[in-house]
Amino acid sequence: MNAAESIAIALDAVRAQKLRSGLTLLSISIGVFAIIASTGITTALQNAVNMQMATLGEHSFLIQRTPTLTFGGSWRKYMRRKPITLEQARQFRDRMTLTNLISISNTNPSYVIKAGQTSTDPDVALIGADDLYFNVNAVNLSEGRPFSLHEGEQGGNVAILGNDVVVKLFPRGGAVGSTVTIRNQTFRVIGILEVRGGVMGQSQDNRVLIPMPIFDRYFTWEWDRSVDVSVKAASAEALPATVDEATGILRALRGVKPWEENTFELDTNDALTAQFSGFSVALLAVAWISGIGALVAAGIGIMNMMLVSVRERTREIGVRKALGARRAWIVRQFLIESVTLCQLGGMAGTAAGIGTSWAVTTLLRNTGMQTLVFDMPWGAVIFSVVICTAIGIGFGLYPAFRAASLDPIEALRYE
């Protein structure tokens, strides 16, 4: 019996035992689906985060009271820290010697921006920034100009709008030179930010920038007056020394004793990427372990199906052995059938996994994460094919050897 006939017999077994075969193949499909879908979605997210981090500015780092990414309940410890005040940030900037590219900013979410009778949804991020914000954070303008030195240090009722706000308030253009209102304060629009897309589900275009002094005067929350400090080193080689100097100066300004840990967070782009990578690896590990567990459980079902098949085809096996079939031929036949069953479930799981990862990637991209691009998880697909083959062989060996070891006389007399 050749391989094609063995595959046909396996397909006939699936049709003859629809419920049992369906449950077993479903288990295989779930395992493969978990592996491929999780890999595809996580890879796309990781690539998007890497691209976004690359646009935040070369050899730059961010100093803030709390970490950018937090997992678990440790946020309580961070919220007990004293804020980094605007005056403290200015003293820090004046003491730094290795670089003068230091920007002070702060952000508050959920603002309504008005222009005439039109207003945005209450979800616009309001950012207070100085004149160096654009250089340090690699923020570009598509139209207009950035804040001047005077506006960044002394203030002024001027604003720079993100693209989402411009589309909402000025659909016919003409934003630059117009006025907008934010909480009873009127601002003249002097620029429009270049489109940046989204990262981690958050649009980078749904924001408005105003000078830091004005932000601190009118829009800082009383319970959280902490500012963020962005620092750009002179070069990639100077980054470690700049980080060390910044850490020492800020510890001194905040009165941190030598044996105490920092009361602030200093995050480089590499550190943020590494944090998200660790989170991604943890998610992948859970998905892969669950998927492999489902595949092993499915392998037990495959072995049960093959044992039932051996019992039902005992007379057939006896006839074949009486006509001269070798043990190796019978073992090969049952192994081919076992692998075929596993690959059927694997193909269904592969199709579902690829389709789901593509659909999720497309949905996230359409909701703001423009940098998210579907990447075919070839590694996971190849692994799934290999693991399904291994499970088919591993759990099919016992039924195959049991069939091959049948005594032909006893098999022919089996009813």
Comparing CA positions, the residue from 85, 118, 410 lying closest to residue 255 is: 85
58 inside domain: no
- Could you read off the pLDDT of 314-323 as tens digits, one per residue? 777 677 777 7
- Using DSSP's 3-state secondary structure scheme, residue 320 falls into helix
Comparing CA positions, the residue from 375, 51, 60, 376 lying closest to residue 197 is: 51
350 inside domain: yes
**DSSP-assigned letter for residue 105:** E
Residues 102 and 238 in one domain: yes
pLDDT > 90: what percent of the chain? 16
pLDDT attached to residue 83: 86
- Could you read off the pLDDT of 138-170 as tens digits, one per residue? 788 989 999 998 888 888 899 999 999 999 999
> What is the residue range of 215's domain?
82-263
Residues 307 and 255 in one domain: no
- Using DSSP's 3-state secondary structure scheme, residue 84 falls into coil
Residues 24 and 86 in one domain: no
Please report which confidence band the pLDDT of residue 272 belongs to, taking 50, 70 and 90 as the band edges.
low
- Largest Cα–Cα separation, the chain: 102
Domain boundary among 233, 263, 293: 263
- Could you read off the pLDDT of 225-243 as tens digits, one per residue? 788 898 988 887 888 899 8
**60-69, 131-140, 268-277: lowest mean pLDDT where?**
268-277
Scanning the structure block, which residue is given the tokens 């958050």?
202
Evaluate if residue 4 carries a pLDDT over 80: no
When mean pLDDT is compared over 70-84, 95-109, 256-270, the highest value belongs to: 95-109
Burial of 246 (C-beta count, 10 Å sphere; 0-12/13-18/19+) = buried
**DSSP-assigned letter for residue 194:** P
Residues 144 and 227 in one domain: yes
Strands (E) across 81-184 are located at 102-111, 114-115, 118-119, 124-129, 141-144, 158-161, 179-182
367 inside domain: yes
**DSSP-assigned letter for residue 60:** E
281 inside domain: yes
Residues 203 and 122 in one domain: yes
The number of angstroms, rounded, from the C-alpha of 249 to the middle of its chain's C-alpha atoms is 35
pLDDT attached to residue 43: 78
The rounded distance, in Å, linking the Cα atoms of 254 and 155 is 26
Residues 117 and 215 in one domain: yes
Contact yes or no for 64/264 (Cβ under 8 A)? yes
Evaluate if residue 410 carries a pLDDT over 70: no
Query: Considering the chain, what is the average pLDDT of its residues?
Result: 80
Q: Residue 352 is encoded by which pair of tokens?
A: 């579902």
| Neighbour count for residue 329 (Cβ, 10 Å) | 13
Q: Which amino acid is at 150?
A: H
pLDDT attached to residue 71: 53
- Using DSSP's 3-state secondary structure scheme, residue 68 falls into coil
DSSP characters over 339-402: HHHHHHHHHHHHHHHHHHHHHHHHHHHHTT-TT------HHHHHHHHHHHHHHHHHHHHHHHHH
Domain boundary among 230, 263, 296: 263
Residues 105 and 248 in one domain: yes
Contact yes or no for 189/160 (Cβ under 8 A)? yes
Contact yes or no for 302/338 (Cβ under 8 A)? yes
pLDDT attached to residue 44: 76
pLDDT attached to residue 161: 94
Residues 234 and 371 in one domain: no
pLDDT attached to residue 271: 66
**15-24, 104-113, 217-226, 242-251: lowest mean pLDDT where?**
15-24
Comparing CA positions, the residue from 379, 296, 279, 284 lying closest to residue 30 is: 296
To the nearest 5 percent, what fractions of the chain are helix, strand and coil?
55, 15, 30
75 inside domain: no
Residues 42 and 101 in one domain: no
Evaluate if residue 67 carries a pLDDT over 70: yes
The three-point CA angle 384-389-395 to 5° equals: 120
Better-scored residue on pLDDT, 368 or 65: 65
Residues 356 and 251 in one domain: no
Mean pLDDT of 376-389: 83
Evaluate if residue 388 carries a pLDDT over 80: yes
Model confidence, pTM:
0.62
Domain boundary among 202, 236, 263: 263
Q: Residue 253 is encoded by which pair of tokens?
A: 């300004």
- Using DSSP's 3-state secondary structure scheme, residue 123 falls into coil
**105-114, 162-171, 399-408: lowest mean pLDDT where?**
399-408
The number of angstroms, rounded, from the C-alpha of 381 to the middle of its chain's C-alpha atoms is 19
Q: Residue 203 is encoded by which pair of tokens?
A: 């649009």
pLDDT attached to residue 92: 92
Residues 257 and 320 in one domain: no
- Could you read off the pLDDT of 356-369 as tens digits, one per residue? 888 877 776 665 55
Comparing CA positions, the residue from 99, 68, 382 lying closest to residue 245 is: 99
- Could you read off the pLDDT of 178-216 as tens digits, one per residue? 999 998 899 999 999 988 766 555 677 889 999 999 998
248 inside domain: yes
pLDDT attached to residue 370: 53
The rounded distance, in Å, linking the Cα atoms of 358 and 373 is 9
Q: How many domains does the chain have?
A: 2
193 inside domain: yes
Residues 252 and 323 in one domain: no
pLDDT attached to residue 224: 61
107 inside domain: yes
- Could you read off the pLDDT of 11-52 as tens digits, one per residue? 666 566 666 667 777 878 888 888 888 888 787 777 766 666
Contact yes or no for 369/201 (Cβ under 8 A)? yes
